[in-house]
Every structure is written in structure tokens, then in C-alpha cells.
Amino acid sequence: MKELRTEIIINASKDKVWDVFTNFKQYPEWNPFIKYLIGEIAEGQKIQIYLTPPGAKGIEMKPTIIKLQKDNELSWIGHLLIPGLFDGEHIFELIDNGDDTTKFVQREKLSGILVPFLKNLID
């Protein structure tokens, strides 16, 4: 398994950050990586996401929402072709710092038999 992680402190309350983060229709205005995210955001639901990594062709993915806790966490999992080949669990966490700031954590857990072979691409 491989895990990628990034975090940032945002000068806003957790509920304000959640409201902006979950306003998926506005993503094209500020998010250069996710061109669209459509579908019902509820546990067990499939969504459609179009990703455009820097310097690469875009790709549409259809992950399943596996966790949704308002103002706290959203995570989904996607698979390349079949589960176990190359799976990506994407986790977004919001942590209240108690001073009207929010720590926004983004993690990607990659697993499956192809992960070791795609290490250079992932890194």
C-alpha cells in the first residue's frame, strides 16, 4: 500500500470550509485538478469525477462514497477495472483547531497488485 498526504490550515471555521468544499458545482472556478464532480453525495452512492493532473490527459472516474460525516469527513474509493488491481481511497478530513481555523487534510490510500509497478508514476 502507498499513502499520499497533504494538509493545510485554512483561516475559516470548519462549517464554512465544508460549505465551500462540498459545493461541487463551483469546482471549475477554483480547482484546476477536478473539472467536475457530479452525483448524489451519500454513503454507498457512485459519483462521477473528471480529473486533470498537471501535464497529463484527463480521466473520468466513478468512485463510490464510503464515508460522509457532515463538517468532518468525506471519502470515496475507486478501482481500476476490478477491485484489487489498483484501488484508490481518497479521504478529506476537516479538523477544528479551536481558534476559528481548520486543518484540511487530504489523503490517498493506494492499494492493489499494480501499485508497486506504478510507483514512479505515483511519486
pLDDT of residue 28: 85
Task: Return the pLDDT at 13.
Answer: 97
Alpha-carbon Rg for the chain, nearest whole angstrom, is: 15
How many distinct helices (H) and strands (E) make up the chain?
3, 8
Quote the pLDDT of residue 1: 83
- Give the Cβ contact number of residue 94 at 10 Å: 21
The residue behind cell 471549475 is 28
The pLDDT value recorded for residue 123 is: 64
How many structural domains are present in the chain?
Answer: 1
Helix (H) or strand (E) holding 119: helix 119-122
Model confidence, pTM: 0.87
Query: Which is nearest to 99 in space by CA: 6, 7, 11?
Result: 11
CATH code of the domain containing 105: 3.30.530.20
pLDDT at 82: 86
pLDDT of residue 68: 97
* Full residue range of the structural domain in which residue 88 is found: 2-122
Burial class (CB in 10 A: 0-12, 13-18, 19+), 88: buried
Which residue positions in the chain have pLDDT lower than 70?
120-123
